[in-house]
Every structure is written in structure tokens, then in C-alpha cells.
Amino acid sequence: MSRRSGILEFAVLGLLRESPMHGYELRKRLNTSLGVFRAFSYGTLYPCLKSLLANGWLIEEPGSAPEDALAASLAGRRAKIVYRLTAEGKEHFEELLSHTGPDSWEDEHFAARFAFFGQTEREVRMRVLEGRRSRLEERLEKMRASLARTRERLDDYTLELQRHGMESVEREVRWLNELIESERAGQDQRRPGDDPASGPPQDSTSGNSTDNSTAGHRSAGDRTSGDTDGLPRHRGTTPPDQSDDTAK
């Protein structure tokens, strides 16, 4: 299995864990919710679904929703089939969620993983975020070294393009720092013995404190996400676009 097809299978399983969908709806969600899949087509999606069915992670059911008629006109008879996650598929997806290896830090895989952070445990989220930050810091160091060596040989436009790529990576590193601080702040404010499902205490007595900027970031996330563990789910947050990174 290629890395890209593995990312697609992960995303399909994650979306179907939320609710059963037919092929047209799945592709729409992949395009709108997970922008990394904008270039995917039905020709790519259906072989993925076939593989998941063969592994026993999905089952097919007849569709009955009114929008199936529209889906059928756009995608043919296949659109009438609704795909539902099996118990084995749910277990497999949870195993994938717990993975924090180097693949989860790469550009496309990280975007897909981040989209499902609301279903991911805090410890795993932290490892993925810190791994991604480490990867980008290494990339940034190489970009700076390369620019220092070649600066004198570059024309003004090429030089500006290199600077633009560096700024893009620096911006994502700052964004990751904010997310990591928010995750840590939520963990620090939970008192020993608190029920994780009850959310953070109203009055933290742990003695830990955060600066005003961190508190403001956390508060904004809490208002928009409703995460039960006291941290922003970040489901409505989009990672900085990597398309302008010119030195991957």
C-alpha cells in the first residue's frame, strides 16, 4: 500500500466512524473537510472502498436517503450504496489513531491526522504535534543553511521565493507551539483524581498558571469546540497551507 492510499483509507474510516455515507457524500467530505484530498476522484475512492470491504472493515447497505437520487445522477449506480463501519473497522481505526511514528509528521498525513484530533487521546495528540514541530524545525534549519550558501547566486525573485517558503514554515512552527501550549495548559489545570470525562475544574487549585495569551487561546477554542476533555478539539482549525513551502 502506498503512503497516499494509506492516508485515504485512514480518512475514509474516520469519516465513516462519524456516520454511514455513500460514495458521493464521502468524496464531498474528503474535499471540503480534508482539503488534502481535493485531487482525489471516484477512480481513486472506489478502489479504496473495495479494499476496506475486502478487509471486513466496512459493509455495504442499500441507500434510502432522498439525496441518493442526486448522487446517482452524478456518480452512477454505485452512489446508491451506503458504506457503514464494522466493529472490526472501528477497532482498526482506533489502532491507526494511536500511531505516532514519523509518517504522522509528514505534510499530507499530518493534515489528515489533525482533522481527527477530536477522536484522538491527549497523549497521542501531544506526540504527533511535537513530532511535527521537530520535523519542521529540522526543515527550517536546512532551508536557512541553503539560503546562506546560495544567497549571492540568486536573483531577487528567487531569493524572495526562498524567503516566502521559510516564512511559511516559521508560521506553522509558531502555530504548533500555540497548540502544544494549549494542550499542556489543559493537562496542568486538571487536578489529580478528577474524572477526565467531566472536563477541567472551574477553579484550578494546582498552582499552575498560564500567561494571558495562552489563556485567551484556550478560551477561544473552548467556546467553539465543546471538547469534553477541556481542550480545543481543533476540528474547525485548518493547518497552515503547505502548498507554498518551496523546499520540502
Taking CA 170 as the corner, what is the angle to CA 166 and CA 173, rounded to the nearest 5 degrees?
145
Residue 233 counted as domain residue: yes
Tell me if residue 84 falls in helix, strand or coil.
Answer: strand
C-alpha cell read off for 143: 532551508
**Per-residue model confidence as pLDDT tens digits over 144-161:** 999 999 888 889 999 999
Per-residue pLDDT, 74:
56
Q: What is the rounded distance in angstroms from the CA atom of residue 189 to the CA atom of residue 139?
A: 33
Question: Are 137 and 242 within one domain?
Answer: yes
pLDDT band for position 54 (cuts 50, 70, 90): very high
Residue 70 counted as domain residue: yes
Q: What is the rounded distance in angstroms from the CA atom of residue 204 to the CA atom of residue 210?
A: 12
| Cβ contact 238:117 at 8 Å | no
Question: Are 114 and 234 within one domain?
Answer: yes
Domain hosting 233: range is: 101-190+207-248
Q: 135 — phi, psi (to 5°)?
A: -65, -45
Question: Are 49 and 131 within one domain?
Answer: no
| Cβ contact 186:219 at 8 Å | no
More confident of the two residues 137 and 5: 137
Over residues 130-147, mean pLDDT: 94
Residue 202 counted as domain residue: no
Question: Are 225 and 245 within one domain?
Answer: yes
DSSP 8-state class, residue 237: -
- The CATH number of whichever domain residue 21 belongs to comes to 1.10.10.10
- Domain C-terminal end among 62, 97, 132: 97
> What's the predicted TM-score (pTM) here?
0.65
Residue 33 counted as domain residue: yes
Bridge partners, residue 22, by sequence: 82
Cα–chain center distance at 12: 13
Residue 55 counted as domain residue: yes
Question: Are 110 and 174 within one domain?
Answer: yes
| Cβ contact 126:180 at 8 Å | yes
Question: Are 12 and 66 within one domain?
Answer: yes
Question: Are 64 and 107 within one domain?
Answer: no
Alpha helices of 151-237 — where are they, by DSSP H?
156-188, 212-225
Question: Are 107 and 73 within one domain?
Answer: no
- Domain C-terminal end among 42, 65, 97: 97
Per-residue pLDDT, 226:
40
